[in-house]
Amino acid sequence: MNIDTLLVADYANIAEGGKLNVMGIFREIRAKKFPIPHPEMFLIIGMNASPAEYNKKRNITVKLINADATQELVSISHNIDVPQGSGGRKVEINHILRLQGVLFPSPGTYQFSVLVDNDEKGAISIELIEIPKSK
């Protein structure tokens, strides 16, 4: 299983026919003070699986960690079923994770890591930036 798409956005859904809708892609969050809770964000994971993986269960784990990996803010793990494909083609699997109220303790770089069966398949960073106070 490989990751084709990895995004952080304000909103995402999967429409009829498996179409992926994403709005408000971002890579940074600005705040006047820390710690700061982020009300809501979506992690979009677009994966593909080869014919050898048809009809198998895979464990997907998403971790959100700070830059020096000393703090894990989020850790979510669950199983997904790889569907049966056809014609020996890879199957596409879109997965959306809705995160509410994630508390960022300080400015800096944070990384979402996506693991499939405990093997990291992709990562995306977001930067938390402190806005200078105006005088």
Domain 2-130 has CATH 3.40.50.10470: no
Which residues, at least 6 apart from 33, have a Cβ–Cβ distance to it below 8 Å? 130
Write the pLDDT tens digit of every residue in 81-131. Answer: 999 998 889 999 999 999 999 999 999 999 999 999 999 999 999 999 999
Confidence (pTM): 0.92
What is the residue-wise DSSP string for 35-102? SEEEEEEEEEEEEEE-GGGTT-EEEEEEEEEETTS--EEEEEEEEEEPPP-STTPPEEEEEEEEEEEE
Average pLDDT on 44-55 reads 95
Q: How many CA atoms lie within 13 A of 99 on its CB side?
A: 21
What are the domain boundaries of the chain?
A: 2-130
Angle (CA) 8-44-72 rounded to 5° is 65
